[in-house]
Structure 1
Amino acid sequence: MRIYPLSEGSFSIDETKVFKPFDSNSPNYPNRPKGSILVEVQPFVIITDNDIILLDTGLGYLNKLGVLQIHENLMAIGIDPSKVTKVFLSHLHKDHAGGISYLHPIHQEQFISFPYAKYYVQKREFDEVMQNSKNSTLLAQVGILEDFSGTVWLTEDKGDIDHLIHYEITGGHSKFHQAAWIKENEEIIFFGADVAPQLQQMKSRFVAKYDLDGKKALEYRQLWWEEGNKKQWTFAFYHDISQPTYKTVVTI
């Protein structure tokens, strides 16, 4: 398996939950607001023997030419977006689900971003967002899944997809947040999404205020860190500024 981060940039985010682009190298860029956090937004693409798998879809931003950023990032590493076969969604917050679909800048219609892929979505997470979110843009981006023929609703707390992806509901960050293990040829890539968003959080007893249940998320991180290092998982960190992936190197 090969895994590539698809970085959409670094962002400062505070209690307003607005993602503000942050360039740490710019002398003219103002200091981040007090209490804000600095995060990367980076979906991942995994290439297996038979599949091209996306782990979450990013913010859904378009470039100046009207091209989806995640499409642009895929093409930059030689992947045709139409060849993506599976899209696994950990949860449906806007920085993970914004690229599910996009508003065409000319036709002003919502189009699914990966029309030839299967989208694997936790049904209870979908229902929660559609019933409670007040973000009309997110509702349009996510709502299209209801009528898309390629949507595969996940209704169990855990399960397997094509003997390739194992998923489990974790909660912690959102009520029905889920993690994924992609397994092929004795290799495991682990995606803990927003319960395991950064390498440093795996190494510390960090309880995040932005989590629904910060203590539960911490417990998962400690469990995964111990097991993953023993079994030599490749960790994929969605919000890590400097280290998107990590794997323990075992020396003899």
Structure 2
Amino acid sequence: MAIQVFTLSEGSYSVDASKKFIPFDPQKDNPKDRPASLFIHVQPFLVKLENSLVLLDTGLGYSNAEGKLHLHENIRKAGFDPDDVELVLMSHLHFDHSGGMVHQHDGKMELSFPHATYVMQQGEWETAFSSKSSSYCTEIFDFIQRNAQIHLIEDSGKLTNEISYEFTGAHCPYHQVFLIEDGEDKVFFGGDVLPEPEELIRKFVAKYDYDGRKAMELRDDFGLRAAAEKWKCLFYHSKSKTQAFVELNDDKFIIV
């Protein structure tokens, strides 16, 4: 059975120096009203393997008007029960990737995935507690520490027969990426080291990366491997294609 991947789109947001994510609808909102803002899309991914259901990052954790988690509703729309998620794989713990680890409503906090194991790099977990950066929301991690099944990993390695992880750093000091393969398909999740397909086409050093030059080099490296090994790449912040293959044409990447 082929690996099934579902994009769980949480929508489009503007974010400025305050690191607050404000919903942004390009149809009716004017970017000029939000000076010095980055405009980003947020989309975690649900992966159905032969015997397990896996979530890649958890989005912002925002709820709809009825207090239901967008992430849960999107998983249900894909035809699955959020309670059946077994593994939550975290590329890193910045708020736009980790907010949905918990569901906050009516002044209460609960685990979004009570039956899942949350998988994180040990160094990123420690950074999330000690960092003064507003990119991390420590109260989430306090709650996770007390209530969730946690599996801390280090460096690069294999998590299961199908899932391997690679320590990259670059976007933040302990960022990691995941490759999922079943002997037939290969699915690559680059987190914020490869957040958009456009970043393969344009070479640049991004100010928002901890080590921009290394991130640029890694994007190139992953692009070459994706083209050579026919990876389906998942783009967490893409404004266009969220799932795509990469091809190489005269040393230039093409998104297919």
Q: Same fold (TM over 0.5)?
A: yes
Deviating more after overlay: 140-149 vs 92-101: 140-149
Q: What is the SS of the residue equivalent to 1:98?
A: helix
Deviation at 1:147, TM superposition (A): 2.4
Secondary structure in 1 matching 2:55: strand
2:78 counterpart of 1:77: yes
Counterparts in 2 of 1:60-75, with a 5 A limit? 60-75=61-76
How do 1:125-164 and structure 2 match up within 5 A? Answer: 125-133=124-132, 135=134, 138-154=137-153, 156-164=154-162
Deviations 1:30-50 (A, max 9, x none): 525444332110000000101
1:17 to 11, 19, 25: 19
The question of 1:184 aligning with 2:182 is answered: yes
For residues 68-120 of structure 1, give each alpha carbon's deviation from its aligned partner in whole angstroms, at most 9, with x where no partner exists: 11001111121110011110000000000001112241xx3321110111111
CA change 1:118–1:69 in 2 (3 A) is same
**Counterparts of 1:15 and 1:101 in 2: how far apart (Å)?**
24
- Superposed, 1:155-174 pairs within 5 Å as 156-174=154-172
What is the alpha-carbon distance in structure 2 between the residues aligned to residue 192 and residue 166 of structure 1? 12
Among the aligned pairs, what percent are the same residue?
37
User: Equivalents in 2 of 1:209, 1:141: separation in Å?
Assistant: 26
Given that 1:97 and 1:142 are in contact with CA atoms closer than 8 Å, whether structure 2 keeps it comes out as: no
Taking a change above 3 Å as real, the CA distance of residues 16 and 109 of structure 1, as seen in their structure-2 partners, is closer
In the TM superposition, what is the alpha-carbon distance from 1:137 to its structure 2 partner? 8.4
Secondary structure of the residue aligned to 2:73 is helix
Tell me which residue corresponds to 1:95: 96
Q: Per-residue CA shift, 1:193-218, capped at 9, x if unaligned?
A: 00100000012212110110000000
Residue pair 2:19, 2:135 contacting (<8 A) in 1 also: no
Q: For residue 17 of structure 2, what is the amino acid of its counterpart?
A: E
Is residue 13–residue 22 contact of structure 2 (8 Å, CA) maintained in 1?
Answer: yes
In terms of mean alpha carbon deviation, does 5-14 or 91-100 score higher? 5-14
Mean Cα deviation higher: 81-90 or 95-104: 95-104
Question: What is the rounded CA distance, in whole Å, between the counterparts of 1:56 and 1:136 in structure 2?
Answer: 15
Of the structure 1 ranges 33-42 and 231-240, higher mean CA displacement relative to structure 2 is found in: 33-42
Which residue identity is paired with 1:201? E
Q: 1:248 to 1:168 in 2, by over 3 A?
A: closer
CA distance in 2: counterparts of 1:158 and 1:37, whole angstroms: 31
Alignment-derived partner of residue 251 in structure 2:
none
Change (3 A) 1:160 1:32: farther
Distance, in Å, in 2 between the alignment partners of 1:54 and 1:115 is 13
1:75/1:173 Cα in 2 relative to 1: closer, same or farther (>3 Å)? same
CA RMSD of aligned residues (A): 1.9
Give unmatched runs, 5+ long, in structure 2. 249-256
- Provide closer, same or farther for how the CA distance between residues 4 and 221 of structure 1 changes in structure 2, counting only shifts above 3 A: same
Tell me by how many angstroms 1:149 deviates.
4.8
TM-score, L = length of structure 2:
0.90
Other-structure match for 1:39? 40
Q: Is the 8 A contact 1:12 1:32 kept in 2?
A: no
The amino acid of 1:2's aligned partner reads Q
Runs of 5+ in structure 1 lacking a partner? none
Classify 1:243/1:121 alpha carbon distance in 2 versus 1 (closer, same or farther; 3 Å): same
Output the TM-score relative to the length of structure 1.
0.91
> In the TM superposition, what is the alpha-carbon distance from 1:145 to its structure 2 partner?
2.5
